[in-house]
Amino acid sequence: MPRDTLTGSRIRERRVLRGMKQADLARKAGISASYLNLIEHNRRRIGGKLLLSIAEILRVEPAALTEGAGAALISSLREAAADMPQVSAELDRVDEFAGRFPGWAQLLADSRTRVAQLERSLETLNDRMTHDPHLAASLHEMLSTVTAIRSAASILAEPGEVDAEWQARFHRNIYEDSARLAETSRGLVTYLEADETSPLETGAPQEELDAALEKAGHTVPELEAGEDRDAALAKLGRGLSGPARGLLRGWLDRYASDAAALPLDRLRPAVEAHGPDPAALAAALGADPACIMRRLAAMSPEDLPTPVGLAICDSSGVLTYRKPLPDFPMPRFGAACPLWPLYRALSRPHVILAGPVMQVGRSGAVLWADALATPQAGPAVNADPLYQAQMLVRPLPQGAEPPATLPQLGVACRVCPRESCEGRREPSILASVRR
């Protein structure tokens, strides 16, 4: 049996999904609501008869509570079902499906991801056909030349009087135009081939970067040791497309300058003394809090046993960096929950917005977020700065009591069970389960 610490979280997740109140579940299971609350926050172990009866009330396999079918897999399956509502997949039995046929379920989920990737590639190509000025001009040129050739050729080929002088003229035109056509098409082929280096099928460059950083654990030992950026780029950038390598280069440059400004030897003792608190560390180290946030996110598990999460977005709200936590997932693409303090920070630049946060439907773990928006570059003459915002997500600081009521955040609208929310942008795929 794997070590299980999240049974309570799963019970909570299932209960919320069913739209059942904590008190109702407790009453049906014959325990007090406060005891159930402790269980749901993983502060009491649960097993035996009580587990069986809660599983029965929630209508799930007990194993789904103790082992869990993988929240990510379940949510992928739900999204797959939501993509094709006309199929009427048995959403109410999604746990059973994932539990009994984990391999098939994974296959379905992976296929869906692949389909989504390919659809995006197609959109990219479509966009290109419509908006790439070079491609459009080349095609226009080719079609015009083909039209001229066709017109002239059919004048010569079709019945009808054409005197010798005109015949010679059209022959010459066809000859000239065919040479032009050959030239244009050669140019077009060269242009298209030059672009083959970017593997469109792997999806957006940002996703490639996210995957590469995830694999590297968001930390780059070479840069911590003061080594050259190019060595790290060669290692981390292997297999990435050109645009993704470009993003990675930018990320590594910032990493290198962060690491030079705040080396691990200086950061480590300060974190031991103050905890991963950007404001306190900024005061203690005299360093830039935004830089501190990124340095904290780059600390390896040896240096920071309880990892922190970090999200960075640009002024449009698009996430340019994401390091999620198990209790604070972040959307893989698209926009995140608009209630995140990250976005509030954009409207209050230069202020560290700190406070407890919690994601709805999660284990109920209360975390702490520090969000800060700062200009992307230094001051410019008569030009407004572009801001970027960062949000550090870390464990609740010791001594900080979570308030009784806490606004619950989501990951993204599609996978958020909160029905009435002023921030809602699109319907949830979870809400349809409860209806």
Partner 1 sequence: MRGEDMGGQVLLIEDEPNIIEAIRFILSRDGWQVHTHSNGTDAAQIVRDRAPDVVILDVMLPGRSGYDILRELREDPAHSDLPVLMLTARGQSKDREMAERAGASRFMTKPFSNAEVLDAVRALSAQ
Q: Which residues in this chain contact partner 1 in the complex, by CB under 8 A?
A: 130, 136, 139-140, 143-152, 154-155, 158, 160-161, 166, 169-170, 173, 176-177
Count of Cβ atoms closer than 10 Å to residue 160 Cβ:
8
Across-strand partners of 328? 325
Of 30 and 160, the one with the shorter C-beta distance to partner 1 is: 160
- Residues 419 and 433: beta-carbon distance below 8 Å: no
Of 166 and 191, the one with the shorter C-beta distance to partner 1 is: 166
The side-by-side arrangement of strands in the sheet containing 367-375 is 319-323, 309-313, 387-395, 367-375, 353-359, 408-409
Shortest distance in whole angstroms from residue 156 CB to partner 1: 10
* C-alpha torsion sign, points 413, 419, 425, 429: positive
Count of Cβ atoms closer than 10 Å to residue 423 Cβ:
14
- What amino acid is encoded at 266 in this protein? R
Shortest distance in whole angstroms from residue 140 CB to partner 1: 4
Of 158 and 401, the one with the shorter C-beta distance to partner 1 is: 158
Query: Which residue, among 361, 416, 359, has the nearest Cα to 16 in the 3D structure?
Result: 361
- Among left, alpha and beta (phi > 0; psi -120 to 50; other), residue 408 is beta
- What amino acid is encoded at 201 in this protein? E
Burial 267-280 (b: 16+ CB within 10 A, else e): beebbeebbbbbeb
Shortest distance in whole angstroms from residue 173 CB to partner 1: 5
Shortest distance in whole angstroms from residue 194 CB to partner 1: 23
Of 160 and 399, the one with the shorter C-beta distance to partner 1 is: 160
As a dihedral over the C-alpha atoms of residue 52, residue 54, residue 58, residue 62, rounded to 10 degrees, the angle is: -30
* CA distances to 92, 156, 174, 178 from 161, in Å: 77, 9, 18, 24
Of 33 and 136, the one with the shorter C-beta distance to partner 1 is: 136
Shortest distance in whole angstroms from residue 130 CB to partner 1: 8
Shortest distance in whole angstroms from residue 160 CB to partner 1: 7
- Token pair listed for 80: 């797959």
Task: State how far the Cα of 43 lies from the Cα of 34, in Å rounded to an integer.
Answer: 11
Of 129 and 400, the one with the shorter C-beta distance to partner 1 is: 129
Of 104 and 175, the one with the shorter C-beta distance to partner 1 is: 175
Of 174 and 296, the one with the shorter C-beta distance to partner 1 is: 174
Burial 49-86 (b: 16+ CB within 10 A, else e): ebbeebbebbebebebbbbbbbbebbbbbbbbbbeeee
Shortest distance in whole angstroms from residue 138 CB to partner 1: 11
- For residue 389, the surrounding DSSP H or E stretch is strand 387-395
Count of Cβ atoms closer than 10 Å to residue 104 Cβ:
11
Of 151 and 347, the one with the shorter C-beta distance to partner 1 is: 151
Of 140 and 235, the one with the shorter C-beta distance to partner 1 is: 140
Shortest distance in whole angstroms from residue 136 CB to partner 1: 8
Query: Which residue, among 8, 9, 52, has the nearest Cα to 30 in the 3D structure?
Result: 52
Of 135 and 346, the one with the shorter C-beta distance to partner 1 is: 135
Shortest distance in whole angstroms from residue 137 CB to partner 1: 9
- What amino acid is encoded at 212 in this protein? A
Shortest distance in whole angstroms from residue 175 CB to partner 1: 11
Shortest distance in whole angstroms from residue 128 CB to partner 1: 14
Pairing verdict, β 353-359 and 408-409: parallel
Shortest distance in whole angstroms from residue 172 CB to partner 1: 10
Pairing verdict, β 367-375 and 387-395: antiparallel
Q: At what angle do helices 289-297 and 278-285 cross, to 10 degrees?
A: 120
Of 111 and 154, the one with the shorter C-beta distance to partner 1 is: 154
